[in-house]
Amino acid sequence: MIKLEIPIPEPKIRELRVGDTVLLSGLVVTARDAGHKLMVEERPRFLDDLLREGVIYHCGPVVRKEGERWTFVAAGPTTSSREEPYQAKVIESYTVRGVIGKGGMGAATKEACRKFGAVYLHAVGGCGTSIAQSVKEVVAVHKLEEFGTPEAFWVIRVVDFPVIVTMDTHGNSIHDQVREQSKQVYERLLND
Amino acid sequence: MSERLVEQLHALIRSASTDLPADVEAALSEAERKEPPGGTAANAFGAILDNVKMARANLTPICQDTGSLIFHVYHPVTMDTLAFRRAIEAATGQATRDILLRPNAVDPVTGKNTGTNLGAGVPYVSFKAWEQDEIRVKLMLKGGGSENVGAQYRLPDSALGAGRDLKGIRKCVLDAVFKAQGMGCAPGVIGVGIGGDRATSYLLSKEQFFRRLGSSNDDPQLDAFEKSLHADLNQLGIGPMGFGGRTTVLGVFVAKQARHPATFYVSVSYMCWACRRKEMTLKNGEAVYDQA
């Protein structure tokens, strides 16, 4: 088990290998479809300090508001492949070190991870309630009115958020490995 | 509109969102036992099962994607379906305010989230009159990630080498589950609809998610087909979350309906491991939940 504090310097990220289990602590920013489109098309500046050597989380949470205080009630990962058209550009332009999601990402993101020093971190999909326990504080929210709850940028403080490295800075991807192995079985079964 | 009915429907939604059905939880426990202890797959199942217990204890959503609400209502011919629909809408709005549901209704043109889970065409409610004197309400919460990996095929399909027979249908299902990898929150439940038109084919495939895991198909030929497909799909080795492992699907359910002579659709729908479905039977105003 490796413990990492956000922001994460590049050398620390480059030490990680696929299969490593990591407990993340620090500030994380949620972003999904509307957020990634905005980050690429308009390149807003308000995320610069948060994302420099920072971590993006593909998540649309269930939230509760009591007075002015927000809390996360359920907050598992969403499918990352939808952000594949944007992720490489976002990693490069904001110097992102980690992307948390589920299901893995494609060749462009893998190359950006290698080139710019970032990893893809897999959280266990569907674990909304348990992952929300790692979210200790909602620090801020951006674009809530415009994007709605699931799509807003939620800035959260996490402690010991459990993730698995499934794409590293060395060009390795567990998703590629599993796809390749399953492809051989698939082709054999198709021709049975 | 009866306030009592709204409360009963609200309880149904709460139960669907926070309390995973026993057969699904048992299948996940069994899948955990099949993996080498301490490995990535076993740990993923461990995290899933911990989360299921925590959600049930805390009455909080199992998954933050509380899905699209799909209701199937079987009712005596005398029931007022318009009033019933209004009660479903009221219960859905209340469950959203109570943080049992995430607001998941978005206008696809303006991009605005209604914030209530109510909007054009949602929640989906299908009314079917029957001869019994009781009302049965079936609800599933269908997540968006798993919905995205569903697929529809038109046979014959030359790329797959799939003709208009069970062998061809099998190829469609293999293809859809292979392409889904872990993206639909594997291990999933697979619903297959054979025949019908484009729309009813998908409807039939999704309706299969109301079946209990391990239940037999009433049609002996399809029952045998389901069992052999289940074994085939688990050979793919995709495993929980696509980490690799022995369980890629928790179950496969296949149903058929008549087709037009010119068409032959096979729809494959994917339900994530968080297969959230609940039933309620109403008789003389009293609700009984999840009577098998």
pLDDT at B290: 84
pLDDT at B1: 61
A36 carries an active-site annotation = yes
Q: Is A169 helix (H, G, I), strand (E, B) or coil?
A: coil
Chain-chain contact of A103 with B64 (C-beta, under 8 angstroms) = no
Contacts of A103 in chain B (CB under 8 A): 145, 181-183, 241-242
Q: Which of A78, A162, A174 sits opposite B145 (nearest CB)?
A: A78
Contacts of B175 in chain A (CB under 8 A): 186, 190
pLDDT > 70: percent of chain A: 100
**Mean pLDDT computed over every residue of chain A:** 97
Which of B64, B116, B160, B225 is the mutation pick for testing A, counting most A CBs within 10 A? B64
CA of A141 vs chain B CAs: smallest distance (Å): 16
Task: Tell me whether A102 touches chain B (CB under 8 Å).
Answer: yes
Question: Predicted confidence band at A192 (pLDDT cuts at 50, 70, 90)?
Answer: confident
Chain-chain contact of B63 with A128 (C-beta, under 8 angstroms) = yes
Average of pLDDT values for A15-26?
A: 98
> B74, exposed or middle or buried, with CB in 10 Å at 0-12, 13-18, 19+?
middle
Task: Tell me whether B110 touches chain A (CB under 8 Å).
Answer: no
Task: Tell me whether A130 touches chain B (CB under 8 Å).
Answer: yes
Q: Which residue on chain A is closest to B245 by alpha carbon?
A: A178
pLDDT over 60 at A131, yes or no: yes
C-alpha pair distances (Å), A156 with each of A41, A50, A71, A140, B80: 24, 10, 9, 7, 47
This model of the complex carries an ipTM of: 0.95
Task: Tell me whether A79 touches chain B (CB under 8 Å).
Answer: yes
A-B CB pairs within 8 A amount to: 169
Question: Predicted confidence band at B291 (pLDDT cuts at 50, 70, 90)?
Answer: low
Residue pLDDT, tens place only, B104-141: 999 999 999 999 999 999 999 999 999 999 999 999 99
Residue pLDDT, tens place only, B159-216: 999 999 999 999 999 999 999 999 999 999 999 999 999 999 999 999 999 999 999 9
| The model's pTM | 0.96
